C-alpha cells in the first residue's frame, strides 16, 4: 500500500488525520458535512476549521492530496517495467490501495471538473495508455478493441474494486484479484470456445 509522507508534530498529525478522514467520507458521500468529517478525524469542528476555515479550502486540499497519492502509487507500480500483464496487475493493486482517493477524484463530475491540471497531455494517462498499447502489441490484450476502450474498462474495474473495499464487501487483496481476473478474462486474448463448444 502506498504510504503518505511522514508528518511532524501535533499540527502535522492533526492535519493528516483531517485529510485522511475527509477523503474517506467524501469518497462515500460527496456532500459529507464538515461536522461528519471532523468526527471521523477525531477532532472538533472548531479544530477542523482552524486548519481549513471553509469547505472550499478543505476540498481543494483533499484534491491536491489525492492527486499526490495517485501519482506516488502510479510511480511505485513501475508500469513501464516487466511484461505488460505483470505491470497491469501492479497498476490495479496500486490504484485499489488508494481507492478512497480514486473514488473521491473520479466518482463525482463536480470534483473532476474542478481539478486544475497543467496545459498539455496528462502524463499519467499517457503512461497507462502506453502500457495498454504495449499489451496489445505483445498479444496479451485484445487488439480488436481500441486502447481507449480498454482504458475505460480498466478504470471501471478499478472503481468497482475500490467501491467493494469501501463498502466492506471485499478486502483490498481480494478486490484487486477480482478486478485483475475480470480484466484478463474480459479484455485478454485467452482462447475462445469454438462453435462446436458453444453448441455443446
| Measured distance CA(23)–CA(17) in Å, rounded | 10
For the chain, list the domains and their CATH numbers: 7-53 (1.10.10), 60-190 (1.10.357.10)
What the block records as the C-alpha cell of 81 is 517495467
Res 198: pLDDT: 43
Check whether 56 has a pLDDT greater than 70. Answer: yes
Identify which has the larger pLDDT, 181 or 116. Answer: 181
Res 125: pLDDT: 83
Give the whole-number percent of the chain exceeding pLDDT 90. Answer: 69
Mean pLDDT of 114-132: 73
Check whether 199 has a pLDDT greater than 60. Answer: no
Check whether 80 has a pLDDT greater than 70. Answer: yes
Give the whole-number percent of the chain exceeding pLDDT 70. Answer: 82
Check whether 114 has a pLDDT greater than 70. Answer: no
Check whether 134 has a pLDDT greater than 50. Answer: yes
pLDDT tens digits, one per residue of 13-30: 999 999 999 999 999 998
Res 10: pLDDT: 82
Q: Which residue has the cell 490484450?
A: 141
| Measured distance CA(173)–CA(162) in Å, rounded | 11
pLDDT tens digits, one per residue of 32-51: 999 999 999 999 999 999 99
Q: Which distant-in-sequence residues (6+ apart) come within 8 Å of 19 by Cβ?
A: 61, 62, 65
DSSP the chain: -PPPPP--HHHHHHHHHHHHHHHHHHHH-TT--HHHHHHHHTS-HHHHHHH-SSHHHHHHHHHHHHHHHHHHHHHHHTTTSS-HHHHHHHHHHHHHHTHHHHHHHHS-HHHHHH----SS--HHHHHHHHHHHHHHHHTSB-SSS-HHHHHHHHHHHHHHHHHHHHTTSS-HHHHHHHHHHHHHHHHB-PPPPPHHHHH-
Amino acid at each position: 500500500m502506498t504510504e503518505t509522507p511522514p508528518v511532524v508534530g501535533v499540527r502535522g498529525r492533526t492535519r493528516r488525520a483531517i485529510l485522511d478522514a475527509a477523503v474517506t467520507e467524501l469518497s462515500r458521500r460527496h456532500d459529507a458535512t464538515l461536522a461528519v468529517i471532523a468526527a471521523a478525524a477525531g477532532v472538533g469542528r472548531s479544530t477542523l476549521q482552524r486548519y481549513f476555515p471553509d469547505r472550499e479550502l478543505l476540498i481543494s486540499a483533499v484534491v491536491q492530496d489525492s492527486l499526490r497519492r495517485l501519482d506516488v502509487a502510479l510511480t511505485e507500480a513501475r508500469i513501464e517495467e516487466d511484461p505488460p500483464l505483470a505491470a497491469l496487475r501492479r497498476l490495479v493493486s496500486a490504484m485499489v490501495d488508494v481507492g478512497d482517493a480514486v473514488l473521491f477524484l473520479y466518482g463525482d463530475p463536480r470534483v473532476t471538473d474542478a481539478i486544475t491540471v497543467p496545459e498539455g497531455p496528462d502524463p499519467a494517462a499517457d503512461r497507462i495508455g502506453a502500457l495498454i498499447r504495449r499489451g496489445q502489441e505483445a498479444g496479451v490484450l485484445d487488439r480488436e478493441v481500441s486502447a481507449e476502450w480498454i482504458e475505460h474498462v480498466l478504470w471501471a474495474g478499478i472503481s468497482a474494486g475500490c467501491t467493494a473495499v469501501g463498502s466492506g464487501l471485499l478486502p483490498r487483496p481480494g478486490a484487486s484479484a477480482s478486478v485483475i481476473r475480470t480484466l484478463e478474462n474480459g479484455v485478454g486474448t485467452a482462447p475462445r470456445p469454438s462453435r462446436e463448444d458453444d453448441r455443446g
